[in-house]
Amino acid sequence: MKHVRVLGALFAGAMAVCFCLSGCGGEKEPQRPEEHVHDWGEWQITAPTCEEKGEKKRVCKTDSSHVEREEIPALGHKWSKEWTAEASGHFRECENGCGERSEEGEHSFQNGKCKVCGYALAPSTLRYEEVLGEDGKTVVGYSVSGWAESVTDRTQLVIPAEHDGKPVIAIGESAFDVDDGDGDESLYSVYLPESVKDIGSYAFYGCSGLKNVNLESVENLYEGAFFECTGLEKAELGVLEMLGKYAFYGCASLKYVKLEGVEVFEEQVMSNCPALEQVEFGDGVEAFAKYTFYASDGVRYLSFGKAFSQEVTSDTFPTGLERVEVSEHNALYTTEEGILYNKDKTEIVCVPFSIKGRVKIADGVKAIKADTAHFKGHRYITSLTIPASVTSIDGGFMKESFTNCHHIAEVYNLTSIDLTEKEWTGENTYDLPEGVVFHTSLAEASIVSDPDEDGFVWQTETGALLAYFGSETELTLPNGYNGKSYTVGYYAFQKTESLEKVTVPAQVLALGESCFSGCENLKEVALEEGLEEIGTGAFKDCTALTKIAIPKSVKKIGAGAFASCNALERVNYGGSVSEWAAIDFRNRLANVFDGKQATLYLGDGKPLPEKIVIEGIEKIGDNAFYGAPLKEVVIGKGVKQIGQDSFSYCAELKTVVLGKEVEDFYHSFANGSPIEKVYYEGTEESWQGLHGGDGGSSALPRSAKVFFFAEQNPQNGDAWHYGSNGEIEEW
C-alpha cells in the first residue's frame, strides 16, 4: 500500500519547501532544513564620480555566492561660484576635482578688463606726454604718444587708466601712425580705459590689422583717426563732441557703425567703406555731414533717432540703401516699410534706392514727383501699389517718374490716373517698363512671386525669371519653372556683386536684355545646350569675365552682349565654325573677338584655326568674325549672303575664297582687314552682277586683287584654278 503525504510550510523570508514521501516502508516526520546564517565581510566601496554612479558591496564569508550590494548616486558637478581666468579665456571649474569646466568662453574686454570674469590685461609699455591745464602749468593728465622703443610685440595695445598718478586722457596725433614709424600693421586689438576722451588726428593711420576697438567713452574723434584701418570691422561710439572728417575713411572691412550722438559731424567720415552695411544714428544725431557715405554704396540699412532733422534730397543717402528707419518720437519724419515720409505721411521724402520686392506707398500720400526722383532708377522694385490718395504723378517731358525701374512687373493703380497713357513719341508717359500688368483693385491676384528660398522672383503669368535677390557666389539657375522652360527677364541679375560663377541650364530658352550686365565679379559662365538667344547687353560690363561656354543651340546674340568684357580669354562653343557663322550677331560687340584676347574653341575641342571653311548655311551673320584672328577664309557651298562686317578688322586676314553661289557680300570685308587676294569661283562677268562685286570701297579693301576661276589658262587677265592636290593655283 502506497502512502503519500504532502506537507506545506511557510518559513521566514517567504520561502516554501515541499517534501514527498513514497515507498519508504513507513511514514517519517519531515525535517526542517537548517537556516543559513550570513557571516558578512567588510564593505567594499567604489566611489561615485560626478557623472557615474558608485557602489558598495560585501560578500558572505561562508558562501561567496551571497553578495549584498548598494548603489551610491553620482555626485553631479558642483561648479565654482568664482571664475577661473587665463590669458586665453575664462571658465567655472568643478569643485569635486573632476577637472571638468563649465561656461568656458573667450574674454569680452571693455577698457582692458573682461566684463564677465574681471580678468585684466597687463598695460602696454608706452610713451607719454604731459597734458597741461588751463593755467599752462598744472599737469592734468597724460596723452599716449606711441610705443616705447623696447616693445617688440605690438599686436595688442592696452592703455592704462593712469600714469604717474594722473589719468591717461588722450591718444596723441599720429601716435600709432604706420607711416610715421610708430604704428604697426600687426596691431590687432586696442583697449581703452574710460579716462581716454580724445583720439588725435591720424592716431591709428594705416593700422590694417586692427579689428576690434571700443569707442563708447571717447568724446572727440579727430580727423582721420582710423584712416585706412582696412581690417576694422565694427565701431561703436557714444555721444561725441567732435567726429572729424575722414575718421573712418577707407576702412574697407567696416560693416557696422553705431553713433549715439554728435555735436560736430564733419564730411566723409565713413566714405570709401565698401563693406559698410548698417549704420545706426542715435537720438543725439541731428544730421550727418556732406559725403559721409561717398563711395560706400554697400550701406543697406540706416536708422535715426528723435533729433534727426536733416533736409533729405534724392542724393542724401547711399545708392545701396534698402531700408531707412526713424524713431517714432521724431517730430519731422516717419517711416513705413522702409520708406521715409513726412510726419503726417502726405509726402514721400525718400524711397531707398535699393528697396526690394513689393512696395506699397502709404495711404495719404498726395503726389509722386518726378523732380525729386522718388522712383527713378529704383531697379529692384517688382510690384508697386499706388493708393487712391495720390492725385498727381508728374511724368514730365523727360518721363522720369519710373525711368529705369526695370523690374516693375505690376502696378496696383488705385488712382484715377491713366498710367497706360502714351506720349506723342508713342512711349509711356511715365516710362514704366514694357509689358507691365495693371491692377485696379487690391483683390486682384498678383502676378509677381515673393522671393523663394534661393532668392528667385518670378513673373508667374509668363513664367519669366524676373529678379534675383540672393547672394550666392556660385549659382545654378533653376531647372524649369512649374515644370516648363522659361526665359530670364531684362536686368534680372544686373549688378549682382556676389556672383562669380553662373550656370544656365538647358531649360532656359533666352537671356533677356542686360540680364547679367554690370556683374563686375562674374568670372565664369556656362550656358547649356537648349539656350536659343543671348539678349542685348546680356554680359555688358562684366569686366572680370574670363571664360564662357556657348551652346550650338544659340541662334541670336544681341547688340553689345559682351561689351567691355575685355578680360575674356576663352570661349567654348558647342558647334562647328559654320554653325558659329550662322548666328545672328547684332553688332561687333555681340561677338567675342572685338577688343578682347579671347580664343574661340569649337565643338571638337580645338581652337578656331587660322584658315576656316564655311559651308552648308545660306547666310553668314553680320559681325560673325569681326576682329577674329584669321588668315584665310573659304566661303563654300550653299552660302549666298555674307553679312555686313562679318570679317572686318581681322588684322591678319590676307586670303579669301568666294564660292560661286555667293550673291551678296556688301561691306563684309571692307574695314580693317588687309586682304591681298580674293579667289572667286565664278567668272568676271558674274562678278559684276554681285552686290559687292563692283570693286567699290564698301565691298573690299583697295589692297585686294581679285582672281576669277578658269578651267583653262586664259593667257591674259587674273585667273586661277584648283590644282591636282585641290589647292588653289594661279594661271
At 655 the pLDDT is: 95
Domain count, the chain: 3
- Judge if 599 and 614 occupy the same domain: no
Structure confidence by residue, pLDDT tens digits, 297-311: 889 999 999 999 999
Q: Which of 586, 608, 630 is the last residue before a domain boundary?
A: 608
Structure confidence by residue, pLDDT tens digits, 696-728: 445 788 888 999 999 888 887 789 999 988 899
d(CA 144, CA 382): 55
- Judge if 458 and 602 occupy the same domain: yes
- Judge if 378 and 442 occupy the same domain: yes
At 24 the pLDDT is: 44
At 28 the pLDDT is: 56
At 32 the pLDDT is: 59
CATH of the domain at 583: 3.80.10.10
Nearest to 365 by CA among 384, 388, 381: 388
- Judge if 393 and 424 occupy the same domain: yes
* 48 domain residue, yes or no: no
* 683 domain residue, yes or no: yes
- Judge if 583 and 466 occupy the same domain: yes
Residue range 449-478: mean pLDDT, rounded: 96
Residue 190 has pLDDT above 90, yes or no: yes
At 499 the pLDDT is: 97
Q: Which of 389, 414, 448 is the last residue before a domain boundary?
A: 448
Q: Which of 448, 466, 488 is the last residue before a domain boundary?
A: 448
- Judge if 619 and 551 occupy the same domain: no
- Judge if 501 and 585 occupy the same domain: yes
- Judge if 577 and 430 occupy the same domain: no
Domain span holding position 570: 449-608
- Judge if 637 and 599 occupy the same domain: no
Residue range 533-544: mean pLDDT, rounded: 97
At 328 the pLDDT is: 96
- Judge if 535 and 566 occupy the same domain: yes
* 727 domain residue, yes or no: yes
Residue range 310-322: mean pLDDT, rounded: 88
Structure confidence by residue, pLDDT tens digits, 647-664: 999 999 999 999 999 998
Structure confidence by residue, pLDDT tens digits, 119-169: 988 999 999 999 999 999 999 999 999 999 999 999 999 999 999 999 999
Angle at 367 between CA 441 and CA 328, to 5 degrees: 90
d(CA 639, CA 117): 84
Structure confidence by residue, pLDDT tens digits, 674-692: 999 999 999 888 888 887 7
Residue range 284-292: mean pLDDT, rounded: 94
At 20 the pLDDT is: 40
At 598 the pLDDT is: 92
* 303 domain residue, yes or no: no
Confidence of residue 465 (pLDDT cuts 50, 70, 90): very high
At 5 the pLDDT is: 38
Residue 12 has pLDDT above 70, yes or no: no
% residues pLDDT > 70 (the chain): 94
- Judge if 511 and 623 occupy the same domain: no
Residue range 260-267: mean pLDDT, rounded: 96
* pLDDT, mean over the chain: 90
- At 579 the three-state DSSP class reads helix
Residue range 624-643: mean pLDDT, rounded: 95
Separation in Å, CA 398 to CA 380, 405, 423, 428, 503: 21, 15, 11, 11, 38
**Contacts of 463 by beta carbon, 8 Å cutoff, 6+ apart:** 481, 482, 484, 486, 487
* 158 domain residue, yes or no: no
Residue 55 has pLDDT above 80, yes or no: yes
* 681 domain residue, yes or no: yes
Phi, psi at residue 335, to the nearest 5°? -130, 155
% residues pLDDT > 90 (the chain): 76
Residue 87 has pLDDT above 90, yes or no: no
Evaluate whether 440 touches 415 at the Cβ level (below 8 Å): no
Residue range 54-78: mean pLDDT, rounded: 92
* 641 domain residue, yes or no: yes
Evaluate whether 364 touches 344 at the Cβ level (below 8 Å): yes
Structure confidence by residue, pLDDT tens digits, 21-40: 344 445 555 565 567 788 99
At 6 the pLDDT is: 34
At 700 the pLDDT is: 83
At 238 the pLDDT is: 95
At 29 the pLDDT is: 59
- Judge if 513 and 539 occupy the same domain: yes
* 28 domain residue, yes or no: no
Give the lowest-confidence range in 212-216, 348-352, 516-520, 631-635.
Answer: 212-216
At 550 the pLDDT is: 97
